[in-house]
Structure 1
């Protein structure tokens, strides 16, 4: 087994220069992976990733995630090729079906087919396969090929998904599966079992697919303030993820009330209703020691990577600094600590 990785997930809402500064800090203190989210109505992740690629030498980088409804597969291929070239082969490709795309008039028909075929088209293009492809949703005419050189034909693929069918697809085609919005160790064996079904179908070893869990992170020496901020952040998506986690058993009346308050723009009031045990399932929050203990529980459960997501702290800079200097040193990432 490999040593567990630690990742940092950034929202694409910063100013030019901020990404490079945070990336240098993260790499210097031992982070392994830097992700930029592809969330609706934020800046596209590629410019931020290119800035971070120029500022770093070791960390892996990728978008988490792009989707094949708002970005055509040939465009996805071009973006990941550009990042892989700029980073000298440190890019990964994150794909997911996307969320809230109805707000911009985009439907998401047949998401598993869309993801599987998008990945097929991307890697055919990157690999120089010009025999053509006739899928149910995407196609390539024979002779269609990229008009530029690529650094690698197959940067690693991460699929972002919660459900059993998506996890089975990851088992068939992906290098990693990310369960976004979860800090729950009990989800790890659930995901592993779901991945195993697809891996067996494809004749793959389940261990070939790394499990990544990532969630809202708020760390501060003032643990109470950090957890209050995390509650407000989690309230915005609790109604979605609570229904996806079969181990969570969040009271339905709590989910209903939180959803109602968020719909009214009363996120702070909604967050105040979330008890500590529920908060810990869907966010990393508190003092450095508390956050480290949560991350360690995931490492011990067998994840390949823990990803600390935005906003990181009461301010982004302070949060990243504390994660780098006060949380990472507390983690034991050795293979002996991990369960397969």
Structure 2
């Protein structure tokens, strides 16, 4: 199982200096990837998790870190398709893949926040069908010399998208979501699946099996599929045997990583942004960085 790390993107510690420090240290220690996430808005009463109260843009953050790293892959988990045009995203991700030298992994989802749907002018009506068509348009723009598409949601006249991404035929596409339809879509149409911050890690193997079955039913070979887990790690004093996975001592977290690999996860990235003691606007930024350095060293693949 490959191990990645999430740079500071949420809360007080998400400064340019901390981003660079964590990204470079992760690359030095042999981590496979860096991962960001998208959150556009937060309700005025701040009744969501503190990890969502102050979040940097995921693609701009990755482009910034591309300039400060050389090897480590750069992933976003996830961008929400209803909030953006596939044409705009094709241009943005192509540019990012070029700037990064072919290191981009693109995670896509459908989103859940009514506030963000309303503010972006999106609708949840037939959003699963929109996602299917979104992927067709995205791949058409990336792969074809002349792109053309006429569908229910998108109309693309005969046009050219140049330049093309470094990765051919295109950057890997991972789909998020835990609903049966989302898991099926990942198996039918994507290069893999990525779990969310609220995933039940005790039963994640069932989601992996569902995606693989959907791929097989669609006539695809499930073996090359990637299964990426957002590891919302919370380092705490030793907990009881029934503790939540990835919460506890660093030794307990390491044992949890081993169990997730046994469940079929091919890649996991450690994400401290979802620890309320780190990814909060109220947290001490330097203390958060010191804690991150301990985790980076303890869980390093080359340790």
- TM-score, normalisation: structure 2: 0.81
Q: Would you identify which runs of 4 or more consecutive aligned residues in structure 1 move more than 6 Å?
A: none
Contact 1:73 1:122 in 2 (8 A): yes
Instruction: Kindly report which structure 2 residues correspond to 1:6-155, keeping only aligned pairs within 5 A, or say none.
Output: 6-10=3-7, 12-13=9-10, 14-41=14-41, 42-103=55-116, 105=118, 106-141=122-157, 143-152=158-167, 153-155=169-171
Give per-residue Cα distances to partners, 1:240-293, cap 9 Å, x unaligned: xxxxxxxxxxxxxxxxxxxxxxxxxxxxxxxxxxx973x515xx2222111111
Q: Aligned-residue CA RMSD in angstroms?
A: 2.4
Give the deviation of 1:149 after TM superposition: 4.3
Cα distance in 2 for residues equivalent to 1:15 and 1:302: 34
Secondary structure of the equivalent of 2:228?
Answer: strand
Gaps of 5+ in 1: 228-274, 332-340
Quick one: structure 1 residues 290 and 50, their matched pair in 2 at CA, closer, same or farther if it must change by over 3 Å? same
Q: Is 1:173–2:189 an aligned residue pair?
A: yes
Separation (CA, whole Å) in 1 of partners of 2:113 and 2:181: 20
Q: Is the 8 A contact 1:40 1:99 kept in 2?
A: no
Deviations 1:215-240 (A, max 9, x none): 42122xx526xx7xxxxxxxxxxxxx
Q: Which residue of 1 aligns with 2:282?
A: none
Cα distance change on mapping 1:124 and 1:329 into 2, 3 Å: closer
How many residues are paired up? 272
Report the CA distance between 1:328 and its aligned residue: 3.1
8 Å Cα contact 1:176-1:210 kept in structure 2 = yes
Higher relative contact order (CA 8 A, sep 6+): 2
How many Å separate the matches in 1 of 2:114 and 2:291? Answer: 30
Unaligned runs of 5+ in 2: 42-54, 279-286
Alignment partners' CA distance in 2, 1:19 and 1:163: 33
1:280-308 per-residue CA deviation (whole Å, 9 max, x = no partner) reads 15xx2222111111111101222101122
